[in-house]
Chains A and B, each alone.
Chain A
């Protein structure tokens, strides 16, 4: 049930911010500080999410095969690989390291 609550809140919230942009008069969100904050907020969130989902399990910090997978993805990004290749490389390397390490 709580999963459905989270889905409902996210769906409504995300839709409303999309609609907000189309409805408010131009200029309302144009203040430089607001714009800069809006540009930096995803950077902070994505960085934290990347780190957490790579280095944590059940609320504790861990170092496992995912770290190798993400390192490979970072290399793919530096080589300007397409998005699907980046994700694919992370998955394959993670699975490979896990198989070699026996779990």
Chain B
């Protein structure tokens, strides 16, 4: 899903200190935070439903994605790649790579939630940007658990409901492009990307990825250019590593302190 609220503390900063801080917070305040994020982001499932149906996926396929994948950026990426004529493997690969950041969220959450092993397979489905952002902002274990659960439940119910409504709406509208709805997908990606562009490193990565993605588009099969553009990330890290190892051979002098966690206050599952 996309777009957690801006008053939720930055995930990257929070993840750097996975400690349960002292202090208490009323359950109702936690629930209010969680509902705010869950409702705001849950409504954006409408954009996904419209985009997916407009990309040629059936109602059942569209709803299956929101029910089973439940991580918005990956869902948008998949339907976009399929609409462009990509084969299922490359389309799924792009969506998968976008979803890998959730593993790093889970790593932080598992320490804070301290769930029994038997519960983890069920909680895992809700490990996404928004639930992480809300959970990491809470002061106590009880609040972390409430925040995670309420955000996850609200978001899951609303995201799937609005996906259905969006897909039905798109079918009723007919040509979604005439309504400008083909701009909803890229606008979502841009809204997810914007808060991640905090330093020159992210800017350079984004710039190179755009050049690779557009430059390779006419020459490679659909879906492959996006995967090639992902190489911008290791490329930029490698270039930076070389620069930092400079004449004295001392690496990490200007070490990247702010990049220890997955970025993305906003996302989509």
Query: Interface residues, chain A, CB within 8 Å of chain B?
Result: 2-7, 9-11, 13-15, 17-24, 26, 28-30, 32-33, 35-56, 58-61, 65-66, 69-70, 73-74, 77, 80, 82-84, 86-87, 89-96, 98
Q: Which of B206-242 contact A (CB under 8 A)?
A: 206-210, 212-214, 217-218, 222, 225-226, 229-234, 236-237
Query: Interface residues, chain B, CB within 8 Å of chain A?
Result: 2-3, 6, 12, 40-41, 43-44, 47, 57, 61, 64-65, 68-71, 73-78, 80, 82, 84-85, 87-89, 91-92, 94-111, 115, 120-121, 123-125, 127-128, 177-194, 196-197, 201-202, 205-210, 212-214, 217-218, 222, 225-226, 229-234, 236-237, 256, 259-264, 266-267, 269
Residue pair A83, B3 in contact (C-beta under 8 Å): yes
Residue pair B124, A18 in contact (C-beta under 8 Å): yes
Q: Looking across the interface, which residue of chain B has its beta carbon closest to that of A55?
A: B214
Distance from B165 Cβ to chain A, minimum over Cβ atoms (Å): 14
Residue pair B104, A29 in contact (C-beta under 8 Å): yes
Distance from B58 Cβ to chain A, minimum over Cβ atoms (Å): 8
Q: Is the interface of B mostly helix, strand, loop or mixed?
A: helix
Residue pair A86, B125 in contact (C-beta under 8 Å): no
Given A6-B78, A52-B225, A82-B40, A22-B115 contact (CB < 8 Å): yes
**A2 cross-chain contacts in B, Cβ below 8 A:** 87-88
